[in-house]
Amino acid sequence: MMAGDLPLDVSRETLAKLEIYVEMLRKWNVAINLVAKSTLEDLWQRHIVDSAQLAEHFGDVTGTWLDLGSGGGLPGLVLAIIAQGQGRDLHFHLVESDLRKATFLRQVAQRLELPVTVSAVRIESLAPQNADVISARALAPLKVLCSHAARHMAADGFAIFPKGSHAAAEIDEARAIWDFTVETYPSLTNADAEVIKVKNIRHV
């Protein structure tokens, strides 16, 4: 893996931390299904680069980045590593109900000294977070994600979700329930996929 493979410039220290994270992910994946075993051969492109592309949306945001259904730390841990390397004033709150996966997330955060808090709870039982940014990857349809985001997002915050080839259909389905502002961006890892950025979420 070379830094040039990432969708943005990162320091050697950041790349080194990403490599340690990948090493831990591979090790733990033997016992815990953090990512599908069929994706391990292409782990960097399928998971690391796919998560890292969301860092293009850091902008000047500060405060709390809430990552829902963090699983193996995608995109939460990847973004925390990149944000730390850029000296950003961002704290990452990772929510993962599976206790074993939550333990993995804490172990990585501790080893890499990341600005990360892990909550091993179901999203539905999480107190409102007033987060500046919310992310989720391969968690739920947009209509469900809008429900989570409406509860946990600050009034001037935004949510960002990588989505597959059915992104447009998910947006249409969500609009039957929710009113929101949406921007879409082409995925850097899949020509058929998109990244959806959502703001101003309100019930219809």
Annotated binding site for S-adenosyl-L-methionine: 69, 74, 123-124, 137
How many Cβ atoms sit within 10 Å of the Cβ of residue 61?
17
Rounded Cα–Cα distance for residues 33 and 25 (Å): 10
Collapse the DSSP code of 128 into the 3-class scheme (helix H, G, I; strand E, B; otherwise coil) and give the result.
Answer: coil
- Which of 9, 141, 17 shows the shortest CA–CA distance to 84? 17
Q: Which two tokens stand for residue 95?
A: 């929510």
Which segments are annotated as binding site?
69, 74, 123-124, 137
- Which of 125, 167, 116 shows the shortest CA–CA distance to 148? 125
Sign of CA pseudo-dihedral 104, 98, 14, 89:
negative
How many Cβ atoms sit within 10 Å of the Cβ of residue 186?
12
